[in-house]
Structure 1
């Protein structure tokens, strides 16, 4: 299992309108960061081809320390879990294909 840590920047531009008075990181930003970090986990002959699924369980605030967990990939999928402390805030999977 590969684990990668990332702290949500307090000044991330997504917080500007999401939501005034109680900033919450949009789910699309979590998935995008999971995808960017996953690139370092994959074998060179595999690439992410799509999002298989994603579930969001808890909101993520500015400055939150996150842990992205990636179990070993199969030939067609890579799962991920995103944790804040012991709490899973999101999980999902990417579909994989040959790197062309």
Structure 2
């Protein structure tokens, strides 16, 4: 994953989807697409790299998958954040060369223990 910094409240993460990932033969047989949970994981990893450790994913407020992502696709995930007290709200938009692929809304809290 590569992360490009934008303004203080935004970044873009870039991920190339590995065609050799073992998830593809079973998701879906004959029509390999990236599982949506992978996009959530990529966005979460980008948030943690951007905002440092000490965050715990508290909620997935929105997951709208617009278009499939295929093995070998380059995915750009634009993230922006806003903070209120001990909570961080993140909006993420994923896209490929074919256009918008997903919109996510994630909520984090500061981790206070293990």
**What's the TM-score bracket when you normalise by the shorter of the two chains?**
0.7 to 0.9
Name the counterpart of 2:100.
Answer: 88
Q: How many residues align?
A: 100
TM-score (norm 1): 0.87
Determine if the alignment matches structure 1 residue 24 to structure 2 residue 33: yes
Instruction: Tell me how far 1:35 sits from its aligned partner.
Output: 1.1
Question: Tell me, which stretches of 5 or more residues in structure 2 are unaligned?
Answer: 1-9
In the alignment, is the contact (CA less than 8 A) between 2:48 and 2:55 conserved in 1?
A: no
CA distance in 2, matches of 1:46, 1:21: 38
Structure with the greater alpha carbon radius of gyration: 2
CA distance in 2, matches of 1:42, 1:94: 14
Give runs of aligned pairs for residues 1-100 of structure 1, distance below 5 A: 1-42=10-51, 46-75=55-84, 76=87, 77-85=89-97, 87-100=99-112
Segments of 4+ moved more than 3 angstroms: 43-47
Instruction: Tell me how far 1:38 sits from its aligned partner.
Output: 1.5
Instruction: Tell me how far 1:29 sits from its aligned partner.
Output: 1.4
Change (3 A) 1:86 1:3: farther
Instruction: Tell me how far 1:41 sits from its aligned partner.
Output: 2.1
Structure number with higher relative contact order (C-alpha < 8 Å, ≥ 6 residues apart): 1
In the alignment, is the contact (CA less than 8 A) between 1:52 and 1:93 conserved in 2?
A: yes
| DSSP-derived class of the 2:81 partner | coil
